[in-house]
Amino acid sequence: MSEFKIDSNEAVNILISVLVISLAFAIVFSGVSTLNLQLAYAFLLILVTVGLGFILHEMAHKYVAIKYGLQARYVMWTLGLLLAIIMAFLVGFVFAAPGATYIWGGNVTKEENGKISLAGPLTNLALAILFTPLVFIPALSEVGLVGVQVNLFLGAFNLIPIFPLDGSKVLDWDWRIWLVSILVLAIPLFIFFL
């Protein structure tokens, strides 16, 4: 079985992806595209919430794949990162496709692939739960709110059953697990936005 490790090339891919995605979301979140304190604040807020949710989601896929004896590596998608920044500037919306964790090195069963795929959204659910207490601390309530919303959204979005999203692989493995997973993420997200 392989061990979980991140080489310098993969670390650079992760760092660039997290920084670019955080900047794109910060532009949309703050409503400004010029460097000022409002954008800097939004960037730090997004870096902690979106950045953490994104990278831990991808690393959860990698961790579970390695546990199954497979190889796994995060690779950024340069075009996806460029689109995120361009759309943030021009449209005020972020299409976030910064990259993916690629898995190889053996025959993967539907169950293993489903569990590897489910690891990311479940990590987002765990992060949403961890951010929840911050909602009730006045000095950290904005971090908590954004952390909960972003992680519920990332988890639910990734469970949409369209390839290459995680939901397509979870559904292919077991429709009941997919249904419970999407409901567990989507219902609180819906309530949160009410």
Residue positions annotated with a catalytic role:
58
Phi, psi dihedrals of residue 91, rounded to the nearest 5°:
-110, -25
* C-alpha dist (Å) from residue 129 to 25, 47, 126: 21, 18, 5
What one-letter code names the amino acid at 96? A
Do residues 41 and 63 lie in contact, with contact meaning Cβ atoms separated by under 8 Å? no
Do residues 186 and 155 lie in contact, with contact meaning Cβ atoms separated by under 8 Å? no
**Helix 175-193 crosses helix 166-173 at what angle (to 10 degrees)?**
140
Q: Pull the structure tokens for residue 109.
A: 């069963």
**Helix 141-158 crosses helix 52-67 at what angle (to 10 degrees)?**
50
Phi, psi dihedrals of residue 69, rounded to the nearest 5°:
85, 15
Query: How many whole angstroms separate alpha carbon 42 and alpha carbon 22?
Result: 9
